[in-house]
Amino acid sequence: MATELNPWFRRAARGVRPASESGIMAGSDEESPASERRIGKTWRLLIGKPLRSSESSKEQINPVEGLSALSLDALTSVAYGPEAMLVVLALGGAQALHLILPITIAIVLLLALLVTSYRQVIEAFPGGGGAYAVSKAHLGENVSLVAAASLVVDYTLTVAVSIAAGVAALTSAYPGLIPETVPICLAILVIITFMNLRGLGETARAFLLPTLIFILGLFAVIFIGLMHPLALNSPTVARPIISTGSVQTIGILLILKAFSAGCSALTGVEAIANGVPLFKEPRVTRAKSTELLLGVILGGMLIGLAILADRWHIAPMSGQTVLSQIMAVSIGTGWPYYALSITITMVLGLAANTSFGGLPVLASLLSRDNFLPHRFSLRGDRQVLNTGIWALTIMSGVLLVAVNGDTNTLIPLFAIGVFTGFTLSQAGLVINWVQKRPPHWSYRALINGLGAVVTAIATIVFLVTKFSGGAWIVLIAVPAFIVMFKRIHIYYQRVGKELSLDLMPGKPMPQKTTVIIPISQISKLTQSTLSEALSISKDVVAVYVVNKAPSSQSSSEGGQSPAQQILDQWNSWDPGARLEILESDFASIVEPIVEFIDEMRRQSDHQLVVLIPVVVPDRFRYRILHNHTDLLLSSALSNRPDLIVARAKYPLSKLEKISPGK
């Protein structure tokens, strides 16, 4: 049997919408069509025109674009990873600084393990999710939530740390901007947010040039430094941060501390595996290529910078970063030095984009598993996961404001979440190989098992050494997210049981409907609303509230009361609906209408529909000239599950100007 569009829905499309579902309040508080068009044009200018599902491939990325979209966090970590190692090694005196090269080699070997592991994750879990997907499949629900919560914390910190680091580099060059640190951080965050709302593809292409300049520039620094053993320049004179008092013994604990500190250079390696759905087809092949490309570039940078730092006896200095020292010795302090420094500052800020590629995909998977609100899995007009982007923006913005844009406050929290994910994903892969036993499974399991042990040790060292510095916050944040996930899941389970989502429901049962319309006078607005009401049901009741106070009973027309006047007009008009006059001792009209509806509910089992007449001005500025009774009544009835509350909107046409006095 053919199905036709119900006239009710045609009318709803013309303007009758449930009050609880209208995005901007209608009537006197709703924007006029002209204003809506202006706002719509501005919004489209910011994020671009809507994309069809068939056009979504335009916003998907290739391996090279994947470097700028999902790998900047990992690539830019060379700006602080080696320095973090040297700061720890400096506690052991100048002789301990030579350990940077063997420790870096160990970190690069771990990087190779992680890249191999996450290439396997990409192949086994092409839907994205990384550590969460692996843990869910092989380690159970509770462990998967630990992985998810850790990644959410890490993604939020990545945005905050990247932007704060970029702004810190900017304010170091221009100290006058230091008081504006937080506003600048938030401005950069807003820019990155809107670029991602336009689509990851556009963002990746916009960030590609500075990313390539950064990569090629650093390799040029390394190449020139390696080709000229004595370097082109003498090391700059500065004050090294080396302990001259009590020097720690160079033992296993110091080495482990330096190793775990240097492992901060590995953050972001997991982002590609989390964002596989963002790649063009064949997604798995392209994502694996990007992961390998990232590993080769990052490993080459780390080894090259460690060799140069060891060769030139680079030590951490106050007022100058380790990377800046290496650049100055290798290529001098001319314009190439400043150009590359500006590029590094830029990409440090842009590294926040890694999280905008990973967290929305992770959040969409969590929402499909009923651990986050379902709107996280909905795509916007540009085929992007808008809700995840906005959630990340809000969390990162709050964090930046809370720490006043200070990178040093954020660093102790950094990397703990991602290393937890590293450990869980590799442990899950060990179980995967043992269960499935593919060719060479024992070799794969050995690699992943070794990686899980090493990253677990690094995680423990991180927690112990940085606990008092702020790492305890992560130990609170991760369980808090897990509790939130579980509470949301319990709610969705209850909803599913209540709605019998797994069962075929019975046949729909039609109900008799009574439509209630509050009116203030007889006009075209009343006529239009009654027409809408009578198309829904023949049982329509108009209600008119009148004050019982003596002063309100007089009238200039023959001494008739307002109630009698409206009743006579109604009977003369005879619109086909009955009129109920409600007398009240109070000025508010909302309370008597609510009491009338309650009385109707007690006396009848009909479905009650409250249809509120609303005038829509033709100009935004005219909204304030209308009363807001509809808002008050909607607010009073919005939480009533026994009612359908809707608005019947009457748009005003553009009227000719009327001269004063006419």
pLDDT, averaged in runs of 10, over the chain (662 residues): 38 38 38 57 69 66 84 84 85 84 92 88 81 88 92 89 79 77 90 84 80 91 80 48 54 81 82 84 91 94 92 79 85 84 81 84 91 90 86 94 79 76 89 86 86 85 76 87 95 87 81 91 90 92 81 53 86 91 82 90 90 84 74 85 89 59 50
Beta strands in 570-626 (DSSP E): 578-584, 607-616
Burial label, 259 (beta-carbon count in 10 A; 0-12, 13-18, 19+):
buried
What angle in degrees, to the nearest 10, is found between the helix axes of 335-350 and 141-173? 150
The domains spanning 7-30+510-651 and 44-493 adopt the same CATH topology: no
In 3-state terms, what secondary structure has residue 590? helix
pLDDT at 12: 37
CA 509 to chain centre: 42
Q: Are 357 and 159 in contact (CB under 8 A)?
A: no
pLDDT at 388: 93
Report the alpha-carbon distance of residue 89 to residue 423 in Å, rounded.
25
H-type alpha helices, 369-440: 386-402, 407-410, 416-436
Report the alpha-carbon distance of residue 631 to residue 26 in Å, rounded.
8
Q: Using the structure block, give the residue that is written with the tokens 């040029």.
A: 220
R_g of the chain, CA atoms, integer Å: 33
Looking at the chain, how many residues does it have?
Answer: 662
292: β partners: none
Q: Using the structure block, give the residue that is written with the tokens 């009537």.
A: 27
Q: Are 2 and 611 in contact (CB under 8 A)?
A: no
What is the DSSP annotation of 262-327? HGGGGTTTTHHHHTGGGBPSSHHHHHHHHHHHHHHHHHHHHHHHHHHHHHTT---BTTB-HHHHHH
Q: Are strands 17-18 and 643-651 parallel, antiparallel or unpaired?
A: antiparallel
Output the six-digit token pair for 1.
């049997």
Q: Using the structure block, give the residue that is written with the tokens 């996450």.
A: 118
Report the alpha-carbon distance of residue 416 to residue 434 in Å, rounded.
28
Per domain, the residue ranges of the chain are: 7-30+510-651, 44-493
pLDDT at 239: 47
CA quadruple 191, 470, 320, 107: dihedral positive or negative? negative
61: β partners: 279
In 3-state terms, what secondary structure has residue 546? strand
Segment holding 122, helix H or strand E = helix 100-124
Q: Which residues contact 257 (CB under 8 A, 6 or more apart)?
A: 88, 461, 465
Output the six-digit token pair for 252.
């296993």
pLDDT at 48: 67
Report the alpha-carbon distance of residue 592 to residue 546 in Å, rounded.
10
Q: Are 606 and 539 in contact (CB under 8 A)?
A: yes
Q: Are 313 and 300 in contact (CB under 8 A)?
A: no
385: β partners: none
pLDDT at 401: 92
CATH class belonging to 44-493: mainly alpha
Q: DSSP letter at 552?
A: G
Of the candidate CATH numbers 3.50.50.60, 2.60.40.10, 3.40.50.620, 3.60.10.10, the domain formed by 7-30+510-651 belongs to 3.40.50.620
Beta strands in 17-140 (DSSP E): 17-18
Report the alpha-carbon distance of residue 147 to residue 158 in Å, rounded.
16
What residue type is 465 in one-letter code? T
Q: What count of other Cβ atoms lies within 10 Å of the Cβ of residue 43?
A: 12
